[in-house]
Structure 1
Amino acid sequence: MDQKTSWIRYSIKNSTLLISLYKIAGFFLIGSAFVSCNEGSGKNKVNAEVLEVPVFTLMPKDIEVPQTYVCDLQAIQFVEVRSKLEGFVEEIFVDEGQEVKKGQPLFQLSSAEYNELVNSATAKLMQAKAEEKAASLEVERLKVLVDKKIYSNSELELAQSKKEMATSAILEAESILKNAKVGLSYTTIKAPFDGIVDRIPYKTGSLVKSGDLLTNITDISEIFAYYRITENEYLEYMRGELDKDADSEQMNEQVRETLQDEQEEISLILSDGVEYPYKGKLETMEADFEKGTGSIALRVRFPNPDGLIKHGASGKVQMSNELKDVYLIPQKSTFEIQEYNYVYLVDKENKVNVRSFRPMRRHGLFYVAQDFNTNDKVVLEGIQLLKDEATVKPNPIGEEEVYRSLNLPL
């Protein structure tokens, strides 16, 4: 009975274990089937849902891109008025910011000392002239006596030598007087040209020395704008000018003058961002490149009839640069890695491919580039959802909508 009971218990125990093993195996099979079904349905879902992306077709454009350069604005004439001698400031005839005319007195320095020098030089000149007159009379007197053979020729020659010395003394006295008058004239300091008086650091009663700055005079009837370009920009500009000269070799003088009058006008943007109402023209450039930056300065002349711009102001010169057969790539269609920009192009099989490019410059919200082909299809938006070689459904977007912000002629 005990053996039978033990066998039954052993059989039940083994049966229970076997049932448990079957249950576990069943669960694994069901789970695998469930996962397989889910994976299969997911793949079918991905294959079924192809991402739709907006796409636009690239066409070459001829555009005018505004180029701006930071510039320094300077008066056409800017002169430091300095004292040429030492003295006290006795009188100031003008005020800071006042407009003056050429030759108008600005300052009066103490002049008593220089008046005395003029008086002394005048007296010496009068003395020299008197001595020269006496020597001339002596020569005339001796001529008569020599003719009568009362005196020898040697006496006459001696008198003539004294007359020549007296004449040279007159020349010396005149030179001293002239220098004294020049020194006296330096005590009255006058405006060198029509302009505006700057700050006056020395007031009445101040002692100034030779070379001290009394004020500045600026002529701002016109303004020079100096800006710098790189060596590559210089070469591009000069090649364009040389081509113009070659094309105009057979033109007559009247036509050339007309072309010069029709030279491109340059705009000026002031520091507050407002465009200056008057246009300027490029005049000249420096002779050498700056060693530190490798750039060269150009000069543009602007009229300033209202006196709005002051010497030392800042701004930006702006000109139009015509670019032919270029492609405009919206910045939102690109992403950047290190020195390159990238876009997604859609091929004939509707697969996207990453394409790198280096933009020439920016124009509004667009990159200007050349290294593309006509009819290349670029993904406009949604590039963060794409992967290389992925299949997409293109949704064509018209040029008018893409380039709306630029108002381009299409």
Structure 2
Amino acid sequence: MRLPSGLFLSACIACLCLSGCSEEETAAPSAPRPTRVVVVTPHKLALVAQGAGRIRSRYVSAVGFEVGGRMLSREVDMGAMVKKGQKLAELSAVDYQNKVTAAEADVDAARAALAQASAQEERFRILLGKGFATHSQHDDALKSLQSARAEVQATEANLRIARNQLSYTQLLAPDDGVVTATGADPGQVVAAGQMVVEISGNDAREAVFAVATNDVTRAKLGMAVNVSLQGRLDIAVTGTIREISPEADSATGTYQVKVALASPPAEMRLGAVVVGRVESEGGQEVATLPPSALLQSGGQPQVWVVGQDDKVQRREVKLVEFDADSIVVSHGLSAGEKVVTAGVNSLADGDLVNPETEVK
């Protein structure tokens, strides 16, 4: 049976309406997106400072002659190992030997005068007892005797000084150590006290660093420092800061920091270049996140924070440090909050997510 054309069109429209109603009734809400997150765990900010320095001796002696003169020889050069009492250099001793000879002659003359004054005093003392001399004459003889004794003491002291000066023409090592510098060559006229040889003790070694102003303010006496040989990080020792220069170097503007080393390895010889590293906790609370958590939009650093309803929200944060491995946030996050670490540039405010905590 053939239906009228009007009735057929009405039936088709009814079918389409019923089909549309069925699709709207069966449409399901969008599923939450799986998202990786990290839980914010605040911690103290680790302050790290690193710099290069050199191994030096704690005790360095600038050795020089106690008298001046022309230097005849120098027995050691830089790098030489010396022992206490070893001869280092020698001055011309001709003039000092002549002084000793003159002082010895003065002593002989003074002793002869003393013998004469002593005999004269004894004679006047005997004559005074017999009444053949006056007290004034005996007093004069006694005064001459006392002067002669004083003259002997003075000339003997001058002789000792002359002999000491003669011995000072031989420069001897005051202690065991290594020659790290020389200040005069044979044939040169040196003054008393001028540095001829610098000796560094090999036992008490320390690391000396030039530290910038920003870092030296955090340095404290007794602070532990990890010191390693440059290029050989496996050769390391822990030292403690024993001295911080109160004034900056006029040329570099840095402060000298000396680190005492406990039993340094043999590879850390005098003059070796070392690297010092200090790591300490500061007072600021921070949170460390992966770099992938940072949202690349807006003028301020932002991250996605997952709320209790599992919906994401933008949150501005303040960064303290940023590198290829991590970002350090000082403000904007609270302990226990979840921060999205993957796919941050494909999310929008209010998106529903299924957070999966990263395993570190």
TM over 0.5: yes
Confirm or deny: 8 A CA contact 1:108 1:187 kept in the other structure: yes
- The corresponding residue for 1:272 is 231
| Deviation of 1:195 (Å) | 0.4
1:310 matched to 2:243? The reply is no
Q: Secondary structure at the match of 1:170?
A: helix
Shift of residue 311 of structure 1?
4.3
Q: 1:49 to 1:225 in 2, by over 3 A?
A: same
Q: What is the alpha-carbon distance in structure 2 between the residues aligned to residue 107 and residue 277 of structure 1?
A: 38
Counterpart position of 2:154:
172
Q: RMSD value over aligned CA atoms?
A: 4.0
Structure 1 runs not aligned, ≥5 long: 1-46, 239-262, 404-410
Distance 1:362 1:107, change over 3 A: farther
The residue identity in structure 2 corresponding to 1:271 is: Q
Amino acid at match of 1:373: S
Q: Residue 289 of structure 1: CA displacement?
A: 6.8
Cα distance in 2 for partners of 1:178, 1:336 equals 87
**What letter is aligned with 1:173?**
T
Alignment of 1:384-403 (within 5 A): 385=345, 390-392=349-351, 394=353, 396-400=355-359, 403=360
Equivalent residues in 2 for 1:121-200 (5 A)? 121-200=103-182
- Give unpaired runs (5+ residues) of structure 2: 1-28
Q: Partners of 2:313 and 2:254 in 1: how far apart?
A: 42
Equivalent residue letter for 1:356: V
Compute the displacement of 1:154 (Å). Answer: 0.6
1:67 pairs, out of 43, 48, 52, with 48
Contact 1:331 / 1:365 at 8 angstroms: preserved in 2?
yes
State whether structure 2 residue 338 is matched by structure 1 residue 356.
no
SS in 2 for 1:123: helix
Identity %: 20
Offset of residue 291 of structure 1: 10
TM-score, with structure 2 as normaliser: 0.73
Give 3-state SS (helix, strand or coil) of 2:48's partner.
Answer: strand
- With over 3 angstroms needed to count, the CA separation of the structure-2 counterparts of 1:325 and 1:223, relative to structure 1, is same
For the residue of structure 2 that corresponds to 1:181, the secondary structure is helix
Distance 1:336 1:206 in 2: 72
Q: Do 1:281 and 1:301's aligned partners in 2 also have CA atoms closer than 8 Å? A: yes
Of Structure 1 and Structure 2, the greater helix share is in 1
How many aligned residue pairs are there?
323
Select the residue among 225, 233, 247 that pairs with 2:218. Answer: 233
C-alpha distance in 1 between matches for 2:120 and 2:33: 124
Q: Which residue in 1 is equivalent to 2:93?
A: 111
Shift of 1:132: 1.5
Which residue pairs with 1:80 in the alignment? 62
SS in 2 for 1:274: strand
Tell me which moved more, 101-110 or 167-176: 167-176
C-alpha distance in 1, partners of 2:305/2:255? 38
Residue-by-residue CA offset, 1:133-175 (whole Å, 9 max, x unaligned): 2212211121111001110011111011111211221222123
Say which SS state the counterpart of residue 217 (structure 1) adopts. Answer: strand
The residue aligned with 2:341 is: 380
Deviation digits for residues 225-276 of structure 1 (CA, Å, limit 9, x no counterpart): 3455757635xx69xxxxxxxxxxxxxxxxxxxxxxxx98642122325243
Q: For residue 80 of structure 1, what is the amino acid of its counterpart?
A: A
Distance 1:300 1:94, change over 3 A: closer
